[in-house]
Chain A
Amino acid sequence: MLTSMPNHKGRYGDFGGKYVPETLMAPLEELEAALDEAMQDEEFLKQYEHDLKEYAGRPTPMTFADKLTAELGGAQIYLKREDLLHTGAHKLNNAIGQALLAKRMGKDKIIAETGAGQHGVASATVAAKLGLSCKVFMGEEDIRRQELNVFRMKLLGAEVISVSSGNGTLKDATNEAIRYWVANCEDHFYLIGSVVGPHPYPRMVRNFQRIIGDETKEQMTRNIDRIYACVGGGSNAIGMFYPFLEDEVELIGIEAAGKGVDTPDHAATLTKGTPGVIHGSLTYLMQDENGQIIEPYSISAGLDYPGIGPEHANLFKTKRVRYESITDDEALEAVKRLSRAEGIIPAIESAHAIAQAIKEAKEMSSDQTIVINVSGRGDKDMATLMEHFTEEGLK
């Protein structure tokens, strides 16, 4: 059964595992033991649920997109509103869970990597709330693209560490966070932001994100035909999909095609990648014939990652989830469309899912229903959007 994965070795079919330096093996074992204990502990779970509700603002609404539905004339379109969560994206669900665990383990220093800055902001936020110190590793290119989020993290009291190796994006920030963790694993907790990394991270992050899918199940009284979510590392998608894996609903993950999957500039890991090891996990990744990792590209910093969570790799291989890709231009167009049709400005990441859903909804019949996970809001993307739409002549 897909829902019973991973096995005790952290495997999802062929994928997953722990490909890390020996120094990290004991800390990972310690983490796994502490996690399993916490997830059995009523008090811990109550605290997690309490914080999600009273602090983060769960449950997030399910909005019927009536105007977009009417415009397209096909399937009934519902939006899961993770954009309304505190800090502006689904990332906080996981950050709260892991930070509570860190505190329970007696570790009061957390480190995190961030691409778009949403996970960095979520980490900085919970660190402030729980009284933990927080260092966020961020690529210098992403610091440039996501200036606003960098300032938010600083305002929240976190230290932002600029990473200049590689392309200065999420992959490089993750490398540097892992290196720092190797040196400081005894008293630091590494709060990974996606369903990537060595076991037990992909499982832990999924379990802290599945609330998205669990709520969706409760909120939707009608039968769902398809669910759409964007995929970089894949945490919002797995959080949405996991509770539906054994149900009869089509699941669609959308990767970033950047300037097109036939150009070198994309981040479509499953569409174009091959199996390999990245950041401690066996999964699909973008690499050359010698096994060197290729720098990805996407206009959305949150999808600009050459790997993908190992559970997605397995869902791809077993064909349980269909994976598609959407270009920069298509995503930007979807940002505008949803903004004008529904008064909701989505994050560029989430707009990838919206763009794919728009393509498919109009081919579907009006008695069919789809749900799109709007994983985050577009506030952080204003500079990029302004640049693009001003060029386009938007007044």
Chain B
Amino acid sequence: MYKLFLRYLISVLFFLWFSINANADFKVGFVYVGPTGDHGWTYQHDEGRKAVEAAGIKTTYVESVPEGADAERVIRQLAQSGHDLIFTTSFGYMDPTNKVAKDFPNVKFEHATGYKREHSNVSTYSARFYEGRTLLGHMAGKMTKTNTIGYIASFPIPEVIRGINAMTLAAQKVNPDIKTKIVWVFTWYDPGKESEAAQALIDQGADIIMQHTDSTAPVQVAEKAGVWSFGQASDMQRFAPKSILTSIIDDWAPYYVERSIAARDGTWKQQDTWHGLKEGMVAMAPYNSAMGGDLVREVEQLQKDLASGKAHSFTGPIYDQKGNILVAEGAVADDGMLAGMNVYVKGVEGDIPQ
């Protein structure tokens, strides 16, 4: 009994020591929607976290946090346990993040892909993934033999529709006969559903598969079927070495390091960040030499032009499916239009699920 009591006492003392010490250090917390081993979205955020750690700042993460009632508790616990900056890396954490931010004015919050900044200690950030899609579209338009591009889409939100449109516009520029077929899977991560969708698209004649979902299943299906594919979020090359032409890489590391250091040094300010190829938040994996040196050089040039601002993914004239003009000739779409995009451009098949 006495021993038990002593052990209890020691553990309580240890805990107190731990929590006091913990508060003295600057710590950054991360909340992930998936497992760190998804090789897609969460994997890349965790790579960013490791970069913060490498920069000498302590980090903590909680993975596979459901976007329901549990998210608020996890975010609150991170705030309560001495974390000074918290990155919440999925759209569904938007309201919980703002709710907790209200109660912890001294803690800084960064929410990925959302639009609500209700308190001065909440920033939002996202990447211009659509610039990468433009490059994919260019390659897809050149590489397809059947003129059919298969696209596995997650949810009909502006970010996803923007990607579909950017890709289709770029493909049409090099191949006017192009058609984009879409399968909506209504999930970010479900290898089973994603591979079924990929197979269905291949069966409908698509010889290019691209995805706005996070698992490696679609590229693996494409590899087996002998069609071209593109990786998503991280370099998925090793999962389909023959099939993958390139991958769009989300590189959160520089942003996470910069914001963590700013928060530690007291220079953190609320902002809404939307970075792309120029800043390196969107990057491209090495191009597959199977598409030929000429095409690789073309795409590399286009990548440079998009980064420098010489080219823009949404340059007019752009028409919707019914032929109404969306962006006039010579103009480019502004960020407001991009942020709320909810119509397909001409050449995309089907309707947006409403």
A, B from the same assembly: no
A residues with a Cβ closer than 8 A to B are: none
B residues with a Cβ closer than 8 A to A are: none
